[in-house]
């Protein structure tokens, strides 16, 4: 096991053959942005471009030497791609129209071909870059022939458009195979966001992509003048070789046959990784060649790797061959500048740590909200979170220092069975295209205190207009305490909140309220539990607490405008003396993070930060601890609040808030979004609940 030392032990690194090293001209893949709006300015740097490598596979020392020299010269000669600069502000808010075909694709994100869910034939999905205030209109054609589909716009608050939130069974019906649906909503505030599937486990199948919202000239993010180099983007994810249907089936079996998804095979950066291979090994070119390399290499001729099991499919091109889908990500940067690095995580399971060799990171944004800047050697990021960090390119390449640096992304909080992912930060005056030393080791996975210390440092940016203080504690209308447990229900392994595991109904909650059919759509006979029994011992597994866990689709109903506190209370899992970190994400809102604590939360006794709590849309609850948040229920609709770990949500770790229930009838809910469940079966008899209207669907959604 890796002990957290500064270098990876050799047994973790898979060496790459000498012929691979002849392909070392890196792929330029910096800061990819695409813009479809005609009213906005395109970034200076376009999409990923690929440099065609040498195709020789000679392994003689002389040839290797010559090729390395060639690579070096090529790298010097090649015009390096500067990171995309921040585009000039647009004069007027615009509307972007996009049409997406969502379909199965064969893809090799980590040099191993699998079926993925792609958009317009590619993985990850298209980059969306919007201007704050701009309307996004995205027509999604479901070309998955055998399953429904929705897409959630993570971090968009969807004020007035709750049906565009993209949560199956909550905000809409899944789009049927062959059908289309148009999401139309306002990109309401600047920040770093992304989108992803929110039905079944489709996110883990690769259905995700960037959604970045730039500030208008009037808004001007408070850290805008702190960087002059432009913008870099790292969308982080984890990837499993088992498909999501196998994963879901394993989770749904009765306990005797229950199969946990396990650790991912590969961490991906911008959709690219290298299974069972750590790129850092290639940098040790003064130490000779290891011919046991197992990484797929393709040159002029198809060349099988040492392990015959691999590289049998045409598309499984290795990380260095032309057109490779698993080529390492390279960020080209100019020396002496400060860049804004946007980082977001859409992992299925993994908590991650990001560090850039030799460079500190100054955190300025979290989930689209400005935070008081602080500087750290590395950052933790949980699924559902996003950050902007500032990075200054302050090294001078020397004979010994190449001017190329590793970016390491490693797993936190779980024993590391997945190799860290690597990308390269390359200065334009770099002497070598590859870093001259191995990648930095990310912190020890079990160092929980380090993770807490990082998380506790995040506070709202002082005196920023975008960081309003929370309502006062005296204004709180309701406090909900949510006990997080893992237990068996009817022989099935489930996660539960207050001893209730969430099951989703066939009829979307939003449609049920809109058409006034709550009673037949879900269990509307009462609310989900507001807390858990006082006698529940959070230090013991559920089995040692005599409280039964049940399945339920009940919701929390919050009056419009209510100030709500939620305390997430972690506890022992099914296994005694074990508890996990869960990142909880709230739809339709940002919330203030009032504080974190150890053990059991005691109302009125805990110290909460109401001075400068950060606004976020995702927050972690640490093992055996609690996290308190506050939000104002001023967004009419039905909103999911759930653990962002995909298999945990699948096992019931979530809740639903219905806000301003009686006002839902006043919304223009598109009819086709709700034609499933009891609404479809009784559609002929249903009239829209909106007074005086018989056609609730606005023309934009037809």
* CA distances for 494 relative to 242, 508, 620, 649, angstroms: 21, 22, 20, 9
* CA distances for 102 relative to 145, 171, 268, angstroms: 10, 20, 21
- H/E segment holding residue 164: none
Stretch that binds Cu ion, among 4-12, 37-45, 555-563, 576-584 (CB under 5 A): 576-584
Query: Please, which residue, 100 or 584, has the CB nearer to Cu ion?
Result: 584
Helix-strand-coil split of the chain, %, nearest 5: 15, 30, 55
Query: Please, which residue, 480 or 643, has the CB nearer to Cu ion?
Result: 643
Q: How far is the CB of 482 from Cu ion (least distance, A)?
A: 12
Q: Contacting Cu ion (CB under 5 A), which of 359, 582, 616, 665?
A: 582
Query: Please, which residue, 211 or 497, has the CB nearer to Cu ion?
Result: 497
* Beta-bridge partner residues of 657: 556, 639
* CA distances for 90 relative to 84, 231, 446, 695, angstroms: 17, 18, 46, 36
Nearest to residue 529, comparing CAs of 507, 510, 504, 501? 501
- H/E segment holding residue 646: helix 646-650
Q: How far is the CB of 486 from Cu ion (least distance, A)?
A: 9
Nearest-10 Cα torsion for 126, 182, 668, 135: 40
Structure tokens at 355: 């560090």
Query: Please, which residue, 582 or 650, has the CB nearer to Cu ion?
Result: 582
Q: Which residues of 240-278 are buried (b: 16+ CB within 10 A; e: fewer)?
A: bebebeebbebbeeeeeeeeebeebbbbbbbbbbbbbbb
Q: How far is the CB of 645 from Cu ion (least distance, A)?
A: 4
Number of residues binding to Cu ion, judged by CB under 5 A: 4
Q: How far is the CB of 347 from Cu ion (least distance, A)?
A: 12
Q: Please state, in angstroms and rounded to a whole number, the distance separating the CA atoms of residues 697 and 702.
A: 7
Distant-in-sequence, close-in-space partners of 267: CB < 8 Å, separation ≥ 6: 236, 237, 238, 239, 273, 347, 350, 352, 409, 410, 411, 418, 419, 420, 421
Q: How far is the CB of 414 from Cu ion (least distance, A)?
A: 12
Distant-in-sequence, close-in-space partners of 316: CB < 8 Å, separation ≥ 6: 108, 111, 112, 113, 296, 310
Q: How far is the CB of 155 from Cu ion (least distance, A)?
A: 19
Stretch that binds Cu ion, among 33-41, 440-448, 579-587, 665-673 (CB under 5 A): 579-587
Query: Please, which residue, 326 or 567, has the CB nearer to Cu ion?
Result: 567
Q: How far is the CB of 137 from Cu ion (least distance, A)?
A: 33
Q: Please state, in angstroms and rounded to a whole number, the distance separating the CA atoms of residues 547 and 489.
A: 12
Query: Please, which residue, 128 or 645, has the CB nearer to Cu ion?
Result: 645
User: What is the footprint of Cu ion within residues 351-380 (CB under 5 A)?
Assistant: none
User: What is the footprint of Cu ion within residues 585-624 (CB under 5 A)?
Assistant: none
Query: Please, which residue, 357 or 617, has the CB nearer to Cu ion?
Result: 617
Query: Please, which residue, 114 or 648, has the CB nearer to Cu ion?
Result: 648
Q: Does 349 bind Cu ion (CB under 5 A)?
A: no
Q: How far is the CB of 454 from Cu ion (least distance, A)?
A: 19
Binding-site string for Cu ion from residue 228 to residue 267, where x marks contact by CB under 5 A and - marks none = ----------------------------------------
Q: How far is the CB of 204 from Cu ion (least distance, A)?
A: 14
Q: How far is the CB of 659 from Cu ion (least distance, A)?
A: 24
Query: Please, which residue, 175 or 645, has the CB nearer to Cu ion?
Result: 645
Query: Please, which residue, 332 or 580, has the CB nearer to Cu ion?
Result: 580
Stretch that binds Cu ion, among 264-272, 328-336, 574-582, 596-604 (CB under 5 A): 574-582
Stretch that binds Cu ion, among 31-39, 209-217, 405-413, 575-583 (CB under 5 A): 575-583
| Residue the block writes with tokens 């306002």 | 186
The string of DSSP letters for 182-230 reads EEEEE--S-EEEEEEE-STTGGGGT-EEEEEEEPPTTT--TTGGG--S-
| Residue the block writes with tokens 């589909």 | 149
Q: How far is the CB of 692 from Cu ion (least distance, A)?
A: 45
Query: Please, which residue, 244 or 296, has the CB nearer to Cu ion?
Result: 244
Nearest to residue 655, comparing CAs of 549, 529, 538, 536? 529
* Beta-bridge partner residues of 175: 149
Q: How far is the CB of 205 from Cu ion (least distance, A)?
A: 19
Q: How far is the CB of 587 from Cu ion (least distance, A)?
A: 16
Q: Please state, in angstroms and rounded to a whole number, the distance separating the CA atoms of residues 181 and 172.
A: 10
Binding-site string for Cu ion from residue 621 to residue 660, where x marks contact by CB under 5 A and - marks none = ----------------------x-x--x------------
Query: Please, which residue, 582 or 589, has the CB nearer to Cu ion?
Result: 582
Query: Please, which residue, 333 or 651, has the CB nearer to Cu ion?
Result: 651
Query: Please, which residue, 233 or 582, has the CB nearer to Cu ion?
Result: 582
Q: Please state, in angstroms and rounded to a whole number, the distance separating the CA atoms of residues 150 and 588.
A: 16
Q: Please state, in angstroms and rounded to a whole number, the distance separating the CA atoms of residues 600 and 569.
A: 7
Structure tokens at 562: 């209510």
* CA distances for 15 relative to 21, 24, 289, 302, angstroms: 10, 14, 8, 20
Q: How far is the CB of 217 from Cu ion (least distance, A)?
A: 40
Q: Is the dihedral of CA 697, 699, 701, 702 positive or negative?
A: positive
Q: Please state, in angstroms and rounded to a whole number, the distance separating the CA atoms of residues 173 and 166.
A: 9
Residue numbers at the binding site for Cu ion (CB under 5 A): 582, 643, 645, 648
């Amino acid at each position: 096991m890796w002990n957290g030392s500064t270098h990876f032990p050799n047994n973790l690194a898979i060496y790459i053959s000498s012929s691979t090293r002849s392909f070392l001209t890196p792929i330029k893949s910096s800061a990819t942005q695409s813009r479809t709006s005609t009213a906005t300015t395109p970034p200076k740097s376009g999409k990923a471009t690929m440099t065609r490598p040498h195709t020789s596979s000679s392994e003689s020392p002389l040839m290797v030497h010559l090729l390395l020299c060639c690579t070096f010269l090529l790298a010097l000669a090649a015009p390096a791609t500067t990171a995309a600069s921040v585009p000039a502000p647009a004069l007027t808010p615009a509307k972007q129209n996009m049409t997406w075909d969502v379909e199965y694709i064969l893809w090799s994100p980590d040099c191993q071909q699998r079926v993925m869910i792609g958009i317009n034939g590619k993985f990850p999905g298209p980059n969306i870059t919007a201007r704050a205030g701009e309307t996004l209109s995205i027509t999604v054609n479901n070309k998955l022939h055998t399953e429904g589909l929705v897409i959630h716009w993570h971090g968009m608050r969807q004020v007035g458009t709750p049906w565009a939130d993209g949560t199956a069974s909550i905000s809409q019906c899944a789009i049927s195979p062959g059908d289309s649906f148009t999401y139309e909503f306002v990109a309401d505030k600047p920040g770093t966001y992304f989108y992803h599937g929110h039905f079944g486990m489709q996110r883990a199948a690769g259905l995700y992509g960037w959604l970045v919202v730039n500030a208008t000239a009037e808004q001007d993010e408070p850290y805008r003048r702190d960087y002059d180099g432009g913008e870099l983007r790292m969308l982080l994810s984890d990837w499993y070789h088992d498909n999501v249907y196998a994963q879901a089936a394993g989770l749904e079996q009765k306990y005797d046959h229950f199969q946990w998804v396990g650790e991912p095979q590969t961490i991906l950066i911008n959709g690219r990784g290298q299974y069972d291979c750590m790129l850092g090994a290639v940098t040790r070119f003064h130490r000779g060649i290891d011919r046991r390399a197992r990484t797929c290499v393709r040159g002029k001729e198809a060349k099988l790797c040492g392990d015959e099991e691999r590289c049998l499919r045409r598309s499984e091109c290795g990380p260095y061959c032309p057109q490779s889908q698993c080529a390492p990500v390279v960020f080209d940067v100019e020396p002496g500048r400060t860049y804004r690095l946007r980082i977001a995580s859409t992992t299925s399971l993994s908590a991650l740590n990001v560090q850039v060799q030799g460079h500190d990171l100054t955190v300025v944004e979290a989930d689209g909200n400005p935070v008081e800047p602080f500087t750290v050697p590395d950052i933790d990021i949980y699924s559902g979170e996003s950050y902007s960090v500032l990075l200054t390119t302050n090294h001078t390449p020397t004979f010994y220092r190449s001017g190329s640096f590793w970016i390491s992304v490693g797993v936190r909080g779980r024993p590391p069975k997945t190799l860290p992912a690597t990308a390269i930060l390359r200065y334009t005056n770099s002497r070598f295209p590859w870093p001259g030393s191995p990648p930095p080791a990310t912190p020890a996975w079990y160092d929980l205190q380090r993770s807490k210390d990082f998380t506790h440092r995040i506070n709202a940016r002082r005196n920023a207009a975008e960081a309003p203080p929370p309502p006062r504690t005296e204004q709180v209308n309701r406090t909900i305490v949510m006990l997080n447990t893992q237990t068996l229900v009817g022989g099935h392994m489930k996660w539960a909140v207050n001893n209730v595991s969430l099951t989703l109904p066939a009829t979307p909650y939003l449609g049920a309220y809109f058409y006034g059919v709550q009673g037949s759509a879900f269990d509307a006979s009462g609310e989900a539990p507001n807390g858990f029994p006082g006698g529940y011992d959070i230090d013991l597994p559920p089995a040692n607490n005599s409280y039964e866990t049940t399945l339920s689709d009940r919701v929390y109903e919050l009056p419009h405008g209510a100030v709500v506190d939620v305390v997430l209370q972690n506890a022992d899992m099914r296994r005694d003396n074990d508890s996990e970190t869960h990142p909880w994400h709230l739809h339709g809102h940002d919330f203030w993070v009032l504080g974190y604590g150890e053990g059991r939360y005691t109302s009125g006794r805990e110290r909460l930060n109401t001075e400068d709590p950060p606004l976020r849309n995702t927050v972690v609850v640490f093992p055996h601890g609690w996290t308190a948040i506050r939000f104002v229920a001023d967004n009419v609709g039905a909103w999911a609040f759930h653990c962002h770990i995909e298999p945990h949500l699948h096992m019931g770790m979530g809740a639903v808030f219905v806000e301003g229930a009686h006002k839902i009838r006043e919304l223009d809910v598109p009819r086709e979004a709700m034609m499933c469940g009891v609404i479809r079966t009784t559609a002929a008899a249903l009239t829209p609940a909106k007074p005086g209207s018989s056609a609730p669907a606005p023309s934009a959604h037809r």
